[in-house]
Amino acid sequence: MLKLSNIQTFYGNIRALKGVSMEISEGEIITLIGANGAGKTTTLMSVSGIAPPRFGEIHFMGEAIHTMSPDRIVSLGICHVPEGRRIFPYLTVMENLDMGAFLRNDKENIEKDMEYIFTLFPILADRRNQAGGTLSGGEQQMLAISRALMARPRLLMMDEPSLGLAPIIVRRIFDIIQQINIENKTTIFLVEQNANLALKVAHRGYVMENGRITLTDSAENLLSNEAVKKAYLGL
Ligand code: ATP
């Protein structure tokens, strides 16, 4: 579904990605793990067109997307939930969800999807008329994920969904990530510092160090890999 071929992404003269290749098949949950500054966020921003690669190619469903604008990439069905959530603070929960659906024409299904989201995150139903900016951190993360789901993405990319959240909320969010993958067959590309958690929900994983992929394997094998355990699992 998604193929990154030897991409190099720069910030001015800084080469953040030094030739990254990855493949994600439809229906998979893939996680990209690595230390601070390894290039994980840059990888997602390269796919979504915010930080397009200077060299290399990215294909989605066989189509080259590395030269497309971010809005065109969204319209193909790629949604990016950035780190730090970024919901619309002055819009209500329902207005935020409506914004997620703005590219859709199937109005009759939008309401149904909103009801589905309220079953995933009942707290958002209780808060539907409250301004997004007044929600707790965990609720804002739920809203950010829900807003992306309203676009009915084929590929959902999430950057550090666990960041700054209480363990009980993190578990809920990771359960939902699995549920979305199973129920909607949404393909998920998950960037996480919490490698232990990410590898428990993912099918496969990639390890990134200093702008390069250094290891890839099934999530199960990565969880029992001695080098991964030592560097990323704190074991
Ligand atoms: P973290 O887990 O800390 O978020 P990361 O793996 O997501 O880290 P990136 O944010 O992709 O890493 O950063 C990769 C490298 O690119 C880092 O060295 C970072 O300092 C650099 N970088 C990121 N954004 C910019 C920017 N806007 N301008 C210059 N350098 C940047």
DSSP 3-state of 159 = strand
Is residue 37 in contact with ligand 1, taking CB distance under 6 Å? yes
Q: What is the pLDDT of residues 10-37, one digit of tens each?
A: 999 999 999 999 999 999 999 999 988 9
pLDDT of residue 138: 87
Q: What is the pLDDT of residues 143-189, one digit of tens each?
A: 999 999 999 999 999 999 888 888 888 888 899 999 999 988 999 99
pLDDT of residue 96: 95
Ligand 1, atom 21: nearest CA belongs to which residue?
16
pLDDT-derived band at 126, boundaries 50, 70, 90: very high
DSSP 85-106: ----TTSBHHHHHHHHTTT---
Tell me what the mean pLDDT of segment 194-203 comes to. 93
Ligand 1, atom 10: nearest CA belongs to which residue?
41
Ligand 1, atom 27: nearest CA belongs to which residue?
11
* pLDDT above 70 (res 235): no
pLDDT of residue 76: 95
Domain range holding 157?
A: 2-232
**CATH assignment of the domain containing 176:** 3.40.50.300
* Residue corresponding to tokens 């951190």: 137
Contacts of 166 (CB under 8 A, 6+ apart): 138
In contact, 207 and 215? CB cutoff 8 Å: yes
In contact, 77 and 133? CB cutoff 8 Å: no
Return the closest-CA partner of residue 85 out of 148, 152, 150, 174. 148
Considering the entire predicted model, what is its pTM? 0.93
Domain count, the chain: 1
* pLDDT above 70 (res 209): yes
Q: 193 CA distance to ligand 1 centroid (A)?
A: 13
Q: What is the pLDDT of residues 104-113, one digit of tens each?
A: 888 888 989 9
pLDDT-derived band at 234, boundaries 50, 70, 90: confident
pLDDT of residue 108: 83
Is residue 221 in contact with ligand 1, taking CB distance under 6 Å? no
Contacts of 156 (CB under 8 A, 6+ apart): 79, 81, 148, 149, 180, 186, 187, 188, 189
* pLDDT above 90 (res 193): no
DSSP letter at 135 equals S
Tell me what the mean pLDDT of segment 75-92 comes to. 90
pLDDT of residue 172: 87
Q: What is the mean pLDDT of the chain?
A: 93
Is residue 192 in contact with ligand 1, taking CB distance under 6 Å? no
Residue of 7, 10, 11 to test ligand 1 pocket, by largest number of atoms within 8 Å of CB? 11
